[in-house]
Structure 1
Amino acid sequence: MPRLFTGLEISAQTGLMLSLLRGGLRGARWIDPENYHITLRFIGDVDDPTADEIADALARIRRDAVEIRVNGLGSFGNGKPHAVWARVEPNRALMELQGEQERILQRLRLPAERRKYIPHVTLARCRSATNQDVARWLSEHGGFQAPAFTAARFVLFSSRSSVGGGPYLVEEAYPLSVAGGLGDDFNADAFAGHDFG
């Protein structure tokens, strides 16, 4: 039974810059740079027929490429921090892509996402870091900013339910149109389909 989510991949340059932030936070489990991504919609554990239905429905999305700007850092957790992340600036194209996926998945009878969508790249899960540890780390690195890049596709990822933070596998990739051709980071070989059955 696959555990699925949709997301956008990070450019190699941004991934390298984010990887340089690793360390200096006690009790953090850092995400491997090859697993950096921007989640669009967490789907969860589904059976194989539902996974195929989701993959087919997502293939009908027709949207433009999305400009991504990673700017600033933050943390999740009320009272006790559970993750630190890099902020992705919301823009219209990104929010509309995420909203369309939410509507498609609800039409497939999957439960609605209850949390407000906050685009971000998770950098580390906090096992035993305190609020003070996280505040110190954020103050030391808070001015983070990476050059903008264009996401020319979105991806249906799978992960093993027993492990948080990867490895994530690309099950399907869906192109987003780019005026004047595909971006430099585009990899046509990654468009191989996958049968969940």
Structure 2
Amino acid sequence: MPRLFTAIEIPHDVGLGLSMLRGGLSGARWIDPENYHVTLRFVGDVDDATAREIMFTLGQVRRPSFDLMLDGLDQFGGHKPRAVFAAVKSSPALMELHAEQERLMQRIGLGAEGRNYKPHVTLARLRDASSRQVADYLATRGPYRSQTFRVPRFVLFSSRDSVGGGPYLVEAAYPLL
């Protein structure tokens, strides 16, 4: 089974707005708009039996749909930037959905996620971009904010073992109430 993760899909119109932020940063490998998403829980490479158990377990999630908004651009990596992203505005519903999935994955025997959860949409992965170049890029894009959008479901994505950025395949979709 390929590498798995759960995520929230980005609506087409929000993705179109994000795609307008592409360009103007050397060393950036821009993510294709159809691959924009907000990761909920990275699972990783698992065998087929574990993948089936994950799919079944995620089907037990019963949460209401909610609204999200992207608010601001930033970068991961500090003095050695490795990605540019759009931040997700604080959302209790999103954090609860993430926490529930974390508990479920641990319950079926997967290890805890090692990093603090910072919801975001990756726009570009960086190679050899200086912190000054990234700061200039972020400064020229001004304060980005998307329209509010409804989250009607989350999905289980698979990806092939690569450098990242897609293509991603929806293995299962789970409606929110």
What TM-score results when the alignment is normalised by the length of structure 1?
A: 0.88
Q: Which runs of 4+ in 1 moved over 2 A?
A: none
- Partner residue of 1:137? 137
Query: How far apart in 2 are the matches of 1:142 and 1:97?
Result: 30
Contact 2:8 2:38 in 1 (8 A): yes
What is the one-letter code of the residue matched to 2:147?
P
RMSD over aligned Cα, in angstroms?
Answer: 0.8
Contact 2:78 2:131 in 1 (8 A): no
Give secondary structure in 2 for the equivalent of 1:144: coil
Give secondary structure in 1 for the equivalent of 2:63: coil
Query: Can you give the 5+ residue segments of structure 1 that lack an aligned partner in the other structure?
Result: 178-197
Query: How far apart in 1 are the matches of 2:61 and 2:127?
Result: 38
Tell me how far 1:78 sits from its aligned partner: 3.5
- Partner residue of 1:84? 84
What is the one-letter code of the residue matched to 1:13?
D
Query: How far apart in 1 are the matches of 2:142 and 2:109?
Result: 40
- Partner residue of 1:98? 98
Contact 1:2 1:51 in 2 (8 A): no
- Partner residue of 1:194? none
Question: What is the aligned-residue identity percentage?
Answer: 60
Instruction: Figure out how many residues of one structure are paired with residues of the other and give that number.
Output: 177
Contact 2:154 2:173 in 1 (8 A): yes
Give secondary structure in 1 for the equivalent of 2:138: helix
What is the one-letter code of the residue matched to 2:81?
P
- Partner residue of 1:108? 108
Query: How far apart in 2 are the matches of 1:12 and 1:49?
Result: 33
The answer to whether the aligner puts 1:39 opposite 2:39 as a matched pair is yes
Query: How far apart in 2 are the matches of 1:78 and 1:136?
Result: 14
Tell me how far 1:114 sits from its aligned partner: 1.4
Query: Can you give the 5+ residue segments of structure 2 that lack an aligned partner in the other structure?
Result: none
What TM-score results when the alignment is normalised by the length of structure 2?
A: 0.98
- Partner residue of 1:20? 20
Query: How far apart in 2 are the matches of 1:41 and 1:55?
Result: 13
The answer to whether the aligner puts 1:147 opposite 2:165 as a matched pair is no
Query: How far apart in 2 are the matches of 1:58 and 1:3?
Result: 16
Tell me how far 1:12 sits from its aligned partner: 1.2
- Partner residue of 2:121? 121
